[in-house]
Chain A
Amino acid sequence: MGTSPIRRGWRWGLRGVALLLLAGIYLALERGGSAYLQRLAVLFLINLMLVVSLNLFTGFTGVFSLGHVGFMALGAYTSAILTLPIAMKKVNLPDLPAPLASTTLPFLPALILGGFTAAAVALLIGIPILRLSGHFVAVATLGFLIITRVVLINAEAFTRGTRTFTGVPPFTTLGWAALWALLNLYIAWRLKHSSLGLQVRAARDDPWGARGVGVSIARVRLIAFGISAFFTGIAGGLWAHFLTAFSPNAFYFSKTFEIIVMMIVGGMGSVTGSVLGTLLVMASTELLRNMEPGFAIGSFTFGPLYGLSQIGLAVLLILLITFRRQGLLGDQELRLEAIPERVERWLAQRKVVLESPRVRKADP
């Protein structure tokens, strides 16, 4: 598409710089030794996966899903049950059926199986649900979330019911989280510009037109739903092995809203927007949370302000919805190429300015 060789060179250079920067951040966190910052980074990457996957479905298809945390729960419980050491299973899950009770899988296969479980359930429920449209899908997926919770609470042999599921091995490291998050970002990015991505986005913007050119709306949406659920399940597994103890309460409305807020802040349908949204929401809540015990500005000290982070987040949302309803990026993307493009445009303008007097001089 008419990219000049100079620009291509620029692009590779910038990509190199970006990669080096990421690698630098990774090494600094990994070697820096601050467990606190490492924890935040892992949480950020897991939340990022949840937001990107949700965006991959909701943003691209325009159909709202309130049930993604259900997929997260499926991934978390599947992976946790599969990796629990056998001795621990005898204590915590005495009623587990035979093949599960006597096997323990390593981290990676368990994680992937968790993702597949979520994807399989998504494909199954997607067939009826995705025939609906608009907010009916939101209600139906909300129903799925509630059903998931009830099943988790009642399948006591597998999940310990409402009791905390403990003893999950702490496998999730910064490296694992970074690897999966990058893979997730890459696939979401490729998908957006693939033929499938174009089809779902066409169906979002003009369903009749899309159908007219032969797009099978239900089918392409179902595929997007499955991929999205797979990565949400993986994120759930990573979360389970990060926190090592959780109960069905963790996978309910508050988590759902947390992810949706991050997605809306970043912009629905934007992959890079998801990164920005997650970063902005997490950074501002963490910053405000650190101010909660009390802080000083000059000689004024402010007493404990518990709840500040929630209020701050709410204010951020109100401002955003008032002044920038489409989120930070809408469904646009931040592209590295934009930088050389802008620089070149700027150079071109300078050139005109530099050259024009000469032109004028020659004129008379």
Chain B
Amino acid sequence: MRPLHRLVALFLVFLLGAAACQPATPPPAATPTAPPAASPTPAGTLEERAPIRIGAPFNLTGGMASIDVPAANGARLAAEEINAAGGVLGRPIELLIRDTKTDPATAATVVTQLIEQDKVVAVIGFNDSDYVLAAGPICQRAGIPFITVGATSPRLPGQVGDMLFLTPFGDNVQAAVGAEFAFEKFGKTAYLLWDKGAEYTTVLAKYFKERFAELGGTIVLEDTYQSGDKDFSAQIAKVKALPQQPDFYYISALPDDVGTIVKQFRNAGITGPIVGGDGYDTPLLLEVAGPAAENVFFTTHSLLTADSPNEKVRKFVEAYKQKYGTEPEAVFAALGYDTVYVLAEAIRRAGSTDGQAIKQALESIRDFPAATGVINYSPQSHIPQKGVTVIEVKGGKFTLAVERVPQKVPAP
């Protein structure tokens, strides 16, 4: 029997191999791809015209899913709204959302496939620089604009090239605002704790330190931990041993750890203000830390509430709730939403779907109103000069402390 088994196995593998080569045919999306509508007023209804295809790779499964899924949902919502309002250049937008499984190699493969087989005119996606750096160079080589939804490293455009744009502000901007805000409000001495296990937390702490020292502040104690740590008693013991408590505590942490850290610091009797970055913008902060989260301040992209003074935010929150039955889970939902709108605006201005034309149109965007603030690009800066929202946790809720732009930004 054994040799037979082996033959069967071989045959199976061959079949699968052959099948894997199949998807070279157009993807199974129901939309017809046949007639390329080049004229400005093509015939037929919106649905019948050739769609403008935009690649949207996200880590919908795996460790990044908690923020990438909301981002993808926000992007899908924006695409549907744009299509309901008549599309772009008289054509509908087709968002090709793909899962890259929190794996950089898959990210690179998926983006290659989107460009080559699906013929996307632009790519949006990802909330972390690992995946942007794996996929970005492929877009750069193909001359396809790539807008990252949520990766905030200000060095990304320098590392990838001129086809890369960011929807959020850079980490240097939010760290500068955090430092300036806390310096003015709380005082000149700070404790700094950061997560050594992630690029985002490392960079954020570095920029905070730089700007805070420039302002004349001193860091009385600096400490680190590893993402996923559950016990912070060693770090807390060192803080308690300080002769005098600092004016505030800057803690650079990932969403998964924020709640645990805040709770343990408060339980140990440390009551001073805790300041952080957009990693705090997660429901986990209130769920895990509960009342301990009071007197926590953090910098983020926007305060997403139904009663926001910003009309764009109100509209977004309401539409999101209607479509998905829940309030936006994370601020990245709004970033995904804004990314699609900015890209649609650029395609409209370019009047074509050519990569270079879209890139130049993106560079011409000034004062574009979005849910996460006003977006400005220029040929020199592909990172928008946006205002930073500082949120205070008060009465078990996120409340707006202040919105501001930094006086000075550390070099990337």
Query: What residues make up the interface of A, taking CB atoms closer than 8 Å to B?
Result: 34-37, 39-40, 43, 153-154, 161-164, 166-167, 170, 239, 243-247, 249-250, 254, 276, 279-280, 282-284, 286-287, 289-296, 301, 304, 306-307, 309-310, 324, 328-329, 332, 334, 338, 342
Closest partner residue, chain A, to B158 (CB atom): A91
Give the distance in Å from the alpha carbon of A291 to the alpha carbon of B23 in the complex.
Answer: 9
Residues of B within 8 A of A254 (CB): 62, 103
Q: Is residue B294 contacting chain A, with contact meaning CB distance below 8 A? A: no
B27 touches A293 (CB 8 A): yes
Interface centre among B9, B12, B106 (most CB of A within 10 A): B9
Contact with A along B15-48 (1 / 0, CB 8 A): 0110111111001111000000000000000000
Q: By the criterion CB–CB under 8 Å, are B3 and A290 in contact?
A: no
CA A283 – CA B196 in complex, angstroms? 37
Interface contact B24-A153, CB-CB below 8 Å? no
Contact A283 B109, beta carbon cutoff 8 Å: no
**Chain B residue nearest to A167 in the complex (CB):** B159
Are A164's CB and B130's CB within 8 A? Answer: yes
- Nearest-neighbour CB distance to chain B for A202, whole angstroms, equals 23
- Verify B97–A164 contact, CB threshold 8 A: no
Query: Which residues in B have some Cβ–Cβ distance to A below 8 Å?
Result: 2-3, 5-6, 9-10, 12-13, 16-17, 19-24, 27-30, 60-62, 96-99, 101, 103-106, 108-109, 112-113, 116-117, 129-130, 133-134, 137, 159, 196-199, 202-203, 226
CB of B143, distance to nearest CB on chain A (Å): 14
Residues of chain B contacted by A40 (CB below 8 angstroms): 20, 109
Check B29–A164 contact: CB distance below 8 A.
Answer: no
B211 to chain A minimum Cβ distance, whole angstroms, is 19
**Chain B interface mostly:** helix
CB-CB < 8 A to B27: which residues of A?
290, 293
Contact across chains for A246 and B109 when beta carbons are under 8 A apart: no
Q: Is there contact, CB below 8 Å, between A43 and B199?
A: no
Q: A36-B117, A162-B199, A310-B61 are in contact. Are A292 and B99 (CB under 8 A)?
A: yes
Q: Are B61 and A307 in contact (CB under 8 A)?
A: yes
Bound CA span A34–B112, Å: 10
Kindly report which residue of chain A lies nearest to residue B117, judged by CB atoms. A36
Contact B97 A304 (CB under 8 A): yes
Which chain A residues lie closer than 8 Å to B96 at the CB level?
A: 293
Question: B20–A293 contact, CB under 8 A?
Answer: no
Task: Report if A276-B103 is in contact (Cβ < 8 Å); known contacts: A162-B202, A164-B129, A332-B6.
Answer: no
Could you list some 7 contacts between A and B, CB below 8 A? Answer: A35-B112, A36-B113, A37-B24, A245-B133, A245-B134, A245-B159, A280-B13
Q: A36-B116, A250-B104, A293-B97 are contacts. A284–B16 as well, Cβ < 8 Å?
A: yes
8 closest Cβ pairs, A-B complex = A245-B133, A290-B23, A283-B16, A283-B20, A163-B199, A306-B99, A295-B28, A328-B9
Known contacts A162-B199, A287-B23, A307-B99; A35/B116 CB under 8 A: yes
Write out the residue numbers on chain A whose beta carbons fall within 8 Å of the beta carbon of B104: 243, 245-246, 250
Name the B residues within 8 Å of A294 (CB-CB): 28-29
Task: Please report the C-alpha to C-alpha distance between residue A161 and residue B19 in the assembled complex, in whole angstroms.
Answer: 41
Interface contact B112-A279, CB-CB below 8 Å: no
Cβ contacts under 8 Å, A310 to chain B: 61, 101
Closest chain A residue, CB of each to CB of B99 = A306
Taking the closest CB of chain B, its distance from the CB of A305, in whole angstroms, is 10
Cβ-defined contact, B133 with A166, below 8 A: yes
In whole angstroms, what is the CA distance A239 to B108 when docked?
12
Q: Smallest CB-CB separation from A295: which chain B residue?
A: B28
B60 touches A306 (CB 8 A): yes
Nearest CB in chain A: distance from B96 CB, A: 7
Are B28 and A293 closer than 8 Å at their CB atoms? yes
A166 contacts B105, CB within 8 Å? no
B9 touches A163 (CB 8 A): no
Query: In the complex the two chains form, what is the Cα distance from A183 to B113 in whole Å?
Result: 30
Taking a contact as CB atoms under 8 Å apart, the answer to whether A243 and B134 are in contact is yes
A160 to B134, CA, bound (A): 16
A43 and B105 within 8 A (CB): yes
Chain A residue contacts of B133, Cβ below 8 A: 164, 166, 244-245
